[in-house]
Amino acid sequence: QVQLVESGGGSVQAGGSLRLSCAASGYTGRHYCMGWFRQAPGNKREGVAGIHTRTGSTSYADSVKGRFTISQDNAKNTMYLQMNSLKPEDSAMYYCAANPAPLGPCPTVVPGSFAYWGQGTQVTVSS
């Protein structure tokens, strides 16, 4: 059973930076598609960024391109989300998610493509 634990959330002013971490355990030795999602009150959960643990291929939502960077440390089974130039509209609960990787590229980063989820970490950006 894959378990995911997020950390690194907090409160920052607009223009600031945060780095989120997602520590994974219970991997079975295969590779995974990993993703970061966020959900603000009253909004649907949306995909922010994704990464393939074997190829390192990444994808980003248009709203965060150029500001957020997803990365991984496979030796530590940890995924990161570096968030720069934060805006108030980035405020949300951030979740990491994982799913066994297919033979091809990872699918689009949408909630239905991921089986395993963390509990979330809150990010609040003030203006």
Query: How many C-beta atoms surround the C-beta of residue 68 within 10 A?
Result: 20
One digit per residue, the tens of pLDDT, for the chain of length 127 reads: 899 999 999 999 999 999 999 999 987 768 899 999 999 999 999 999 999 999 999 999 999 999 999 999 989 999 999 999 999 999 999 999 999 998 888 988 999 999 999 999 999 999 9
